[in-house]
Chains A and B, each alone.
Chain A
Amino acid sequence: MAANLQTPYDWTATTYGTSTYKGVFIGATTGVDPALFGIFLNPAFTGKAPDSANFRSDNGVMPDPRTLPSYAPLANQPVYIGDGYTTNNAYVTNVDTYVPPGTIQTYTIPPGATELVLGIGADQDMSDNVNAANTNSAFQVHVFDDSGSAPVIASISGAGTAALALQTAAFSVMLSAGGAPIHYQWYFHGTALQDGGNVAGSQSNTLTLSWLQYGNSGLYQVVVSNEWGTATANATLGVYATGHFFTTNVTVAGNAEIHGAGNAGLPDSSGVEPVLINLPANSLAVYITNVSGTISLNGNGGQNDADGVVVSGGGYPAWSYSGPYGGISGIKIPGAGALVGVYEPATAPASSTAPDTADYYSGIPTNFTALLPLLYQTFFIGDGLMGDGGGSAQLFQIPQGATRLFLGIPDAGSFDGPPGGYSDNSGAFTVTVKVLVADTPSVTFTNVQTSGTNFSFSFPTLTGQSYTVETSTNIGAGSWTYYTNVTGNGSGFKVTLPSNQGGARFFRVEVP
């Protein structure tokens, strides 16, 4: 046995670095070989070594060190640690599930101590100590401290932002205090955000919203929490655009099969292709207005309006379901024969991966103010108004990547099942489609001047708009060289460069 802790033991004037300290007395009980010890070290200490701590249980000075709930050592004074609990715990291998008995011991860090030293204590002969190459040949010392504090939010950058539609906005929360680990959660009007779509960083200190839509306007809140407390802060976002309407009038036949959108074939050969509207670049949203007409779904003279409501005749079900087909989702609607739409990019749908069916009968209300469907997901349009035949105009937001809008009618045999049953449909809806298209901001150079050896110019910016400055020595060049990039903040942006840049140069600002 290398260690002998049965006898009080004291080192004198031993050193750690430039420090000097004495030893430690350990209890004269049983089996204290090879205990874990530590030192709260003050590296700058050069004076007389602190007195040895006396943990002996047989001298009436201190209790058995293994039972102390807390201890306040001096700096540079060796202290008994053991297993860190007030009871002697078994040899532990499964540290993740084992819950030690007893109470964890608390050690007060002495004034002046800045470092911690650990080691096997009171073993005069370390030469026979085995250090096998497995985890059981060493002590794993799990350390906990009280350095943390409740989070304190210093600021949110971007709060009160007004951003251009289709651009990117970000909120970033800065903390002035808060111990790790810190959890962030962003909310929009009280609903926890999750990453996906145009949302990123919903559980980080920076929330980024890309491809901004009007529906992103509103109140945002971040909740910052750790084990010591919670802090919250609010931010608002207003999405705006300067734009114009692209308007077109179309007729949607009662047998226009919505599931033919972008597909090479139709699910029912008796129907016709849906109406295609190519969306202009920078399209923001769609309004459907001036919807008129009725359609018949079974040849018996009954007529339904664009909301799927029976206006003459009768016998139609309270709801209808037209299933997915060719990568286009199904749709469940109140009534039958409503006007519906599908947004798509230039690429045809993948026949094996249709989005989830949207349920407007028992799930999504049809009196929404704004709707953001998924690509290839059939969505309810009706008459484009919040009520049946009246009410405010509804806003159909355009998912990122969409370049095409298809309009058609969902149908199925017996109004429930795979798409079909178009052979007995008749009539049509006439529709005005108004596409709101964002204007591309124009750029005007101002304050073009030289000052000393510098050349500079400025241009006004719109908040949230991205601008890329490029340069070339040839104004007719096919490609220009990137110079700098800026996101507008509503004020002028000044470009300054030294005049000794060679010969004549040209600059241009590109606005995506």
Chain B
Amino acid sequence: MNSNTCNVIAIGLLAAAANLHGQTAGFHVSSISTNGILKVQATDTYYDGNNGTLFQAVPLPPGATHLQFRVTGGVITDGSQPANAL
């Protein structure tokens, strides 16, 4: 019975970890890339690539209908201070 109890705790921890950063129930780390993390360099662009480097499109995870993002880090666009994703 001790082992059963441990199993329940483990499931609880899993759920808690999945919501650590506020993503809502039913969302999980995406299989869209390794560990669900995409890196966007300071020169990556989403448009034609004439000014910067065109970001390589990644396949959306099969079956997904919604995405959520948590963006960290920063880029420097004028050689001075890093800026966040906003």
Smallest Cβ distance from B2 to chain A, in angstroms? Answer: 8
Would you call B58 and A145 a contact (CB within 8 A)? no
Total number of residue pairs linking A and B with CB closer than 8 Å: 305
Smallest Cβ distance from A135 to chain B, in angstroms? Answer: 6
Instruction: Scan B38-63; emit 1 where CB is below 8 A from any A CB, else 0.
Output: 11111111111001111101111111
Give the contacts of A112-141 with B (CB-CB under 8 A). Answer: 113-121, 123-132, 135-141
- The answer to whether A100 has its CB under 8 Å from any CB of chain B is yes
Query: With A145-B27, A190-B4, A192-B6 as given contacts, are A116 and B41 in contact (CB-CB < 8 Å)?
Result: no
- The answer to whether A43 has its CB under 8 Å from any CB of chain B is yes
Would you call A107 and B7 a contact (CB within 8 A)? no
Give the contacts of A1-59 with B (CB-CB under 8 A). Answer: 1-3, 11, 14-17, 23, 31-41, 43
Query: With A34-B75, A128-B78, A142-B36 as given contacts, are A104 and B21 in contact (CB-CB < 8 Å)?
Result: yes
A36 contact set on B, CB distance < 8 A: 40, 71, 85
Smallest Cβ distance from A68 to chain B, in angstroms? Answer: 12
Would you call B51 and A141 a contact (CB within 8 A)? no
Task: Give Cα A60 to B45, complex, Å.
Answer: 28
> How many of chain B's residues have a CB under 8 angstroms from any CB in A?
70
Which of B40, B44, B59, B72 is the most central at the interface, judged by chain A CB atoms within 10 Å of its CB?
Answer: B72
Would you call B64 and A126 a contact (CB within 8 A)? no
Q: Which residue of B lies closest to A87 (CB)?
A: B86
Question: Which of B7, B68, B85 is close to A185, meaning CB atoms less than 8 Å apart?
Answer: B7
Query: With A138-B75, A192-B6 as given contacts, are A143 and B41 in contact (CB-CB < 8 Å)?
Result: no
Q: Which residue of A lies closest to B71 (CB)?
A: A83
Question: Which of A39, A103, A126, A138 is close to B39, meaning CB atoms less than 8 Å apart?
Answer: A138
Would you call A125 and B51 a contact (CB within 8 A)? yes
Would you call B42 and A147 a contact (CB within 8 A)? no
Would you call A143 and B38 a contact (CB within 8 A)? yes
Question: Which of A95, A104, A183 is close to B24, meaning CB atoms less than 8 Å apart?
Answer: A104
Smallest Cβ distance from A224 to chain B, in angstroms? Answer: 11
Smallest Cβ distance from B48 to chain A, in angstroms? Answer: 5
A85 contact set on B, CB distance < 8 A: 22, 70
Which of B31, B42, B43, B47 is the most central at the interface, judged by chain A CB atoms within 10 Å of its CB?
Answer: B47
Query: With A109-B60, A131-B43, A140-B71 as given contacts, are A123 and B77 in contact (CB-CB < 8 Å)?
Result: yes
Smallest Cβ distance from A83 to chain B, in angstroms? Answer: 4
Instruction: Scan B5-42; emit 1 where CB is below 8 A from any A CB, else 0.
Output: 01100110011001011111111111111001111111
5 contacts between A and B (CB under 8 A): A33-B83, A39-B46, A139-B40, A141-B69, A181-B28
* B interface list, Cβ under 8 A from A: 1, 3-4, 6-7, 10-11, 14-15, 18, 20-33, 36-48, 51-55, 57-79, 82-86
* A interface list, Cβ under 8 A from B: 1-3, 11, 14-17, 23, 31-41, 43, 66, 78, 81-85, 88-93, 95, 98-100, 102-109, 113-121, 123-132, 135-149, 179-181, 183, 185, 187, 190-192, 194, 223, 225, 227-228, 230
Q: A135-B73, A145-B31 are in contact. List 20 more A-B contacts (CB 8 A).
A: A37-B46, A84-B71, A100-B22, A107-B67, A119-B46, A126-B52, A131-B42, A139-B72, A140-B72, A141-B39, A142-B37, A142-B69, A143-B30, A143-B37, A143-B67, A144-B69, A145-B28, A146-B26, A146-B27, A148-B28
